[in-house]
Structure 1
């Protein structure tokens, strides 16, 4: 994505991606339960991108897409992320896919569609990436903001699912005060289509 990075670490890239994604038009509906939330949610959009590792040892983010599947009944949207990134600077097949990034319009857990999408991507790209001498697991991340300032929303946290470990996590805090991790549960796949979530 022009103007983004590149970054030496995935943590720096991840934190830089949060405000970029949340500042897109209608990316957040504000805090659930506040006045006009329902209207804000109906016009909200989910933006998606890959955070990937390049052959020159840097982390970059793909262009954003706002294509998503919507379920008005349970207020969930599932990211329709392309399987691969076309980065003309590097040979086909040389990129390593690390994080599937998207926003949630409000502080909602990862959806069934989110979990299934990243598992399908893992079958294509692999579950753990060898990046610059370290192993980094593939995961999906959903940023959220609790701010009612829709023009300049704060990055208040993100949900994360790591298929190779099964961990479902929630990170809260911020860029200034540091991030706090909460393990929400574990996803266990019983076969290719059925799973259960064991809460903590």
Structure 2
């Protein structure tokens, strides 16, 4: 999964810099979200799907991508694939959106909350990579937000100088009914 971060962030207009940067409004207007699946195959491999993006952005305040619900991998029967991570970028460091959360839950309804792997069960999650850099032509993979529908955890992961990742649970999401949820900040 972490190998996908620089791949996604280096796509055209995948980052917009920081909101305080002089050219941020224009960069945001041109920014795109790219998304992909990390899925688990019957031969015990994690694979990255092709990247998807949306040509049209309907809401000028938000960015989104159009990720298909299933992966077409001609090497394996469709029902044999396990869906693990929904990956996408955020053009700047902001938390997961309502659309992100609802999409993750919808995909968990389709594919299940966990995937059994050789190393044990892995929960389905949505991941939003971000760069803290000011130069969108040289983005750095500085972290990501993760929502795990099975546990309700919202986690912020950040890169540290020694190459390790620091995990901090920032909130817990609780569904009140089929359409409404509450986020309790940590």
Same fold (TM over 0.5): yes
Aligned to 2:34: 47
Structure 1 position 183 matched with structure 2 position 183: no
Aligned to 1:118: 104
Structure 1 position 84 matched with structure 2 position 70: yes
Does the 8 Å CA contact 1:51/1:100 hold for their aligned counterparts?
Answer: yes
Which sections of structure 2, spanning at least 5 residues, go unmatched?
none
Aligned to 1:59: 46
Does the 8 Å CA contact 1:54/1:96 hold for their aligned counterparts?
Answer: yes
Question: How far apart, in 1, do the equivalents of 2:53 and 2:9 lie?
Answer: 12
Aligned to 1:101: 87
Aligned to 2:24: 37
Aligned to 2:184: 198
Question: How far apart, in 1, do the equivalents of 2:180 and 2:161 lie?
Answer: 36
Tell me the TM-score normalised to structure 1 length.
0.88
Q: Label 1:192 to 1:51 Cα distance change in 2 as closer, same or farther (>3 A).
A: same
Which sections of structure 1, spanning at least 5 residues, go unmatched?
1-13
Does the 8 Å CA contact 2:31/2:63 hold for their aligned counterparts?
Answer: no
Tell me the TM-score normalised to structure 2 length.
0.95
Q: Label 1:148 to 1:38 Cα distance change in 2 as closer, same or farther (>3 A).
A: same
Alignment of 1:147-158 (within 5 A): 147-158=133-144
Q: CA deviation digits over 1:53-86, x for unaligned, max 9?
A: 11111111000011275432xx322332100000
CA-based RMSD of the aligned residues comes to: 1.4
> Displacement of 1:174 after TM fit?
4.8
The number of residues matched between the two structures is 185
> Displacement of 1:196 after TM fit?
0.7
Q: Label 1:59 to 1:88 Cα distance change in 2 as closer, same or farther (>3 A).
A: same
Does the 8 Å CA contact 2:71/2:78 hold for their aligned counterparts?
Answer: no
